[in-house]
């Protein structure tokens, strides 16, 4: 389990693909929860980054669990504090799309992901006000690279 221990940025973990072997298709699965949602802009974020520093991701903010890509956020579910959410994302960067399930329910089908490939996954907290106001946890993380290797 990754946990931030109530410290801003403490969950600041990164998984990188080997150079030249970026992920183009993958299945991403995890459980995630947050202890407080009452503070504006506080968030626990899981991001998928490409070489051009474009990113897509899923995060908590202001009572919602949201999908982010291309500068826009889409609400997936109303979030409840200290509740585990099971998240599954299928990413296909060749078709620039993501399919997202939360707790076994399809939330977004063929949603644009607007990244070319996945060079890294990041997991971090961003606390704006007040610092240390919540805990962000990630558990049962699974990433399966489905990129065709030639």
Q: How confident is the model at residue 5 (pLDDT cuts 50, 70, 90)?
A: low
Residue whose structure tokens are 């490939």: 117
Tens digits of residue pLDDT in 34-63: 877 655 555 677 878 777 777 888 888 878
Residue 42: phi, psi to the nearest 5?
-75, 140
For 2-145, which CATH class? mainly beta
pLDDT at 41: 58
Higher pLDDT pick, 148 / 72:
72
Tell how far CA 24 is from the center of its chain: 16
For the chain, what are the domain ranges? 2-145
Could you give the CA distance from residue 25 to residue 43 in angstroms, rounded to a whole number? 26
Residue tagged 């929860």 (tokens): 33
pLDDT of residue 3: 57
Rounded CA gap, 37 and 133, in Å?
9
Write out pLDDT tens, residues 73-101.
Answer: 899 999 888 899 999 999 888 888 889 99
Which of residues 112 and 98 earns the better pLDDT score? 98
In this prediction the pTM is: 0.81
Specify the pLDDT at position 51.
73
Compute the distance between CA of residue 43 and CA of residue 130 in angstroms, rounded to an integer. Answer: 12
């Amino acid at each position: 389990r990754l946990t931030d221990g109530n410290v801003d940025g403490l969950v600041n973990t990164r998984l990188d693909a080997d150079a030249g072997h970026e992920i183009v298709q993958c299945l991403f699965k995890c459980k995630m929860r947050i202890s407080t949602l009452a503070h504006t802009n506080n968030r626990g974020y899981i991001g998928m980054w490409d070489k051009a520093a474009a990113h897509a991701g899923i995060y908590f903010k202001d009572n919602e669990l949201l999908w982010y890509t291309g500068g826009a956020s889409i609400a997936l579910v109303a979030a409840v504090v200290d509740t585990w959410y099971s998240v599954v994302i299928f990413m296909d960067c060749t078709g620039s799309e993501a399919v997202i399930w939360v707790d076994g329910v399809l939330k977004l089908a063929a949603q644009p992901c607007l990244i070319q490939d996945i060079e890294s996954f990041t997991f971090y907290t961003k606390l704006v006000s007040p610092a240390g106001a919540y805990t962000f946890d990630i558990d049962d993380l699974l990433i399966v690279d489905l990129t065709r290797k030639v």
